[in-house]
Amino acid sequence: MSSLFSKALVYLGLVDEDQMDEEGGGDRQQPDYIEAPTRRVEPRRVEALPQSRRVEPPPTSRAATRPQSRYEGNEGVGLVRPVEVQSDVILVEEFGDARILADRVRERIPVVLDMRESDHDLMRRVIDFSSGLIYALDGSMRKVGDGLVVVLPPRVTLSRDEKRRLVSLGVYELDDVDH
């Protein structure tokens, strides 16, 4: 009776069935095969980084993939240009105004939400929506008065002139503006 190993060799086609019968009925425990010369494998050499160099990943992968406006100055590459943009003021009357907010923030335009005349439930829903929006886009949001919220896209701030303009429109009530 042939061993399980012999049957496997025949099944895989590595040994002919007739060859197994001629060599002793297939009862051999070890097959005839030619051993390949052994070869020593050297481990790969890995160069170590200098101890003084530290490589850190970017804060978020999302921030690394966004296009950024950069310029080269005397200080070097990587400075973000200040953005001089006029803010939009949205008088919130229905939840559909949240879509306008999202479109403006994606276009990198600061938005002031005027919710002084809005229903309390609508105000809560719009604030929740804008909180999720700025979290997803890495923006910021700040209360600037009673029922007034400014929503800023990522890497955008309000200039003093813009804050003065918003104060003159009556939609910015903080004292951080020099008159």
> Is 10 a domain residue?
yes
**What is the rounded average pLDDT of the residues 147-172?**
89
Same domain for 93 and 27:
no
pLDDT at residue 48, as a whole number: 63
Cα–Cα distance, 63 to 67 (Å, whole number)? 9
**What is the rounded average pLDDT of the residues 35-59?**
63
> Is 61 a domain residue?
no
> Is 110 a domain residue?
yes
Spatial neighbors of 66 by CB under 8 A, at least 6 apart, are 154
**Entry pTM:** 0.53
- For the chain, the domain total comes to 2
Same domain for 164 and 99:
yes
State the average pLDDT for the chain. 75
pLDDT at residue 36, as a whole number: 62
CATH number at residue 103: 3.30.110.150
pLDDT at residue 71, as a whole number: 44
**What is the rounded average pLDDT of the residues 25-38?**
57
Same domain for 96 and 24:
no
Residue 79, both tokens = 């400075």
Domain boundaries, position 24:
1-33
Q: Which of 97, 117, 120, 113 is nearest to 166 (CA)?
A: 113
CA atoms lying within 13 Å on the CB side of residue 78: 3
> Is 179 a domain residue?
no
Report the relative pairing of strands 76-80 and 88-91 from DSSP bridges: unpaired
Report the relative pairing of strands 111-114 and 148-152 from DSSP bridges: antiparallel
> Is 62 a domain residue?
no
Q: For 57-77, how does the pLDDT look when each residue is reduced to its tens digit (9 = 90+)? A: 666 544 444 444 444 444 444
